[in-house]
């Protein structure tokens, strides 16, 4: 028994003293997380606000190591916006998120269905896509902004006269929210509202304003729902030497608007936080790609800018020229029950 134990011990010692060296197991390598891709399409690739949103989103994605594919096309043109999104979506590899700032929500029905079939989350920007598959909506609080402007119009006019209140594209949620809030405010303070649609096209907005200036005798205010359009209308009113009689109010806070307010030809606007919207888009897209949920609606409140505080905002952009005017009549118009058609 003792001999057996000795042999066993000797074998054990021999094994330990052989040339083999045991390597301790180190920590397992952390797997590299899969590359996230954001496929993005904004309403416009030339509008100052949307350019700001896109640049901010691209920069935020770059800082987080996220691939950012921008297929924005056209300027508020649904026919141009949808095809590049559809084409890029077919080539997209997960994990990925589709981010859409839609010109026309209904035009993306098939695209959203394709994203759902591929298991790719969808995030909306500024326009509600009205589809249960869409995870969330990041947007400017257009109603709050409209209320701010409506209050400024009432202050400027003393609640008297008529206000030309323009919407964007007919039935566009963002444009309607702005228009409706301004209309409600001016009518509440005793004014008459004249409702027209300028399609977010500064040339058409100038046509509408020109008609109103010549036909509405008690016109005291004009609201234009986008920045460059407001700046162009403000220049029109200034050229007709009516700035003190007819106040121009806008929405967006575009560089051209800041110049117009600094020059005292536009009364006030609200500044959309395009950079903030861009950052929120990427943050929420990253959460969706990781399988997390995001709020159904993230509202970013705009900031009022008037002649009293415009000095803190710098811009060297020229005021948008009112020429050439590409049409002689608006493509869409409608009157409220309180309106007097020009």
Q: Token digits for 161?
A: 């006269």
Q: Is the pTM of this model over 0.75?
A: no
Choose among 245, 162, 184, 175: nearest CA to 204. 175
Q: Are 88 and 59 spatial neighbours (Cβ–Cβ below 8 Å)?
A: no
- Sequence-distant (6+) residues with CB within 8 A of 115 are 89, 98, 121, 122, 133
**Element spanning 104, H or E:** none
pLDDT mean by block of 10 residues, the chain; 342 residues: 42 44 54 84 92 97 97 92 97 96 95 98 95 97 97 98 95 92 98 96 97 98 96 98 97 93 97 93 97 95 93 58 33 34 32
pLDDT of residue 312: 86
Q: Provide the pLDDT for residue 28.
A: 61
Give the integer Cα–Cα distance in Å for 197 and 175: 9
pLDDT at 170: 87
Q: What share of the chain is helix, strand, coil (3-state, %, to 5)?
A: 40, 20, 40
Beta-strand runs (E) in the chain: 37-41, 67-70, 96-100, 122-125, 136-140, 162-167, 192-197, 219-223, 247-249, 268-271, 297-300, 303-306, 332-333
Torsion of CA 301, 39, 43, 147, to 10 degrees: -10
Contact 322, 236 (CB under 8 A): yes
Domains of the chain and any CATH numbers: 37-141+274-301 (3.40.50.2300), 142-271+305-333 (3.40.50.2300)
- What is the reported pLDDT for 48? 84
pLDDT computed for residue 70 by the predictor: 98
Measured CA to CA, the distance from residue 61 to residue 279 in angstroms comes to 8
- 102-272-103 Cα angle (round to 5): 10
**115, 143 in Cβ contact below 8 A?**
no
Question: Going by C-beta distance under 8 Å and a sequence separation of 6 or more, which residues neighbour residue 7?
Answer: none
Say what the pLDDT of residue 314 is.
Answer: 67
Q: What is the DSSP string of 190-241?
A: T-EEEEEE-TT-HHHHHHHHHHHHHH-TTEEEEE-SSHHHHHHHHHHHHHTT
Tokens linked to 87: 């084409």
Report angle CA 330, 173, 127 to the nearest 5 degrees. 120
């Amino acid at each position: 028994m003792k001999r057996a134990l000795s042999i066993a011990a000797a074998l054990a010692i021999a094994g330990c003293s052989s040339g083999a060296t045991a390597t301790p197991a180190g920590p397992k390598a952390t797997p590299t997380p899969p590359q996230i891709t954001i496929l993005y399409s904004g309403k416009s690739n030339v509008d100052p606000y949307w350019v700001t949103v896109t640049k901010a989103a691209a920069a935020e994605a770059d800082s987080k190591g996220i691939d950012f594919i921008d297929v924005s096309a056209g300027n508020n043109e649904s026919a141009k916006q949808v095809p590049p999104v559809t084409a890029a979506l077919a080539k997209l590899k997960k994990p990925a998120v589709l981010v859409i700032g839609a010109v026309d929500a209904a035009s993306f029905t098939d695209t959203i269905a394709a994203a759902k079939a591929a298991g790719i989350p969808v995030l909306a920007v500024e326009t509600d896509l009205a589809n249960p598959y869409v995870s969330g909506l990041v947007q400017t609080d257009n109603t709050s902004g409209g209320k701010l402007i409506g209050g400024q119009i009432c202050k400027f006019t003393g609640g008297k006269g008529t206000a030309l209140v323009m919407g964007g594209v007919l039935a566009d949620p963002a444009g309607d929210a702005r228009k409706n809030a301004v209309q409600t405010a001016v009518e509440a303070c005793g004014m008459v509202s004249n409702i027209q649609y300028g399609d977010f096209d500064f040339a058409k907005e100038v046509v509408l304003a020109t008609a109103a200036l010549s036909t509405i005798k008690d016109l005291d205010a004009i609201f234009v729902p986008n920045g460059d359009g407001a700046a162009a209308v403000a220049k029109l009113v200034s050229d007709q030497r009516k700035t003190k009689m007819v106040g121009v109010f806008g929405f967006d806070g575009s560089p051209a608007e800041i110049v117009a307010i600094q020059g005292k030809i536009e009364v006030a606007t609200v500044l959309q936080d395009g950079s903030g919207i861009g950052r929120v888009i990427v943050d929420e897209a990253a959460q969706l790609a990781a399988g997390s949920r995001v709020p159904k609606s993230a509202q970013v409140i705009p900031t009022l800018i008037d002649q009293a505080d415009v000095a803190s905002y710098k811009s060297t952009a020229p005021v948008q020229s009112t020429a050439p005017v590409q049409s002689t009549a608006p493509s869409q118009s409608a009157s409220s029950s309180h309106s007097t058609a020009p």
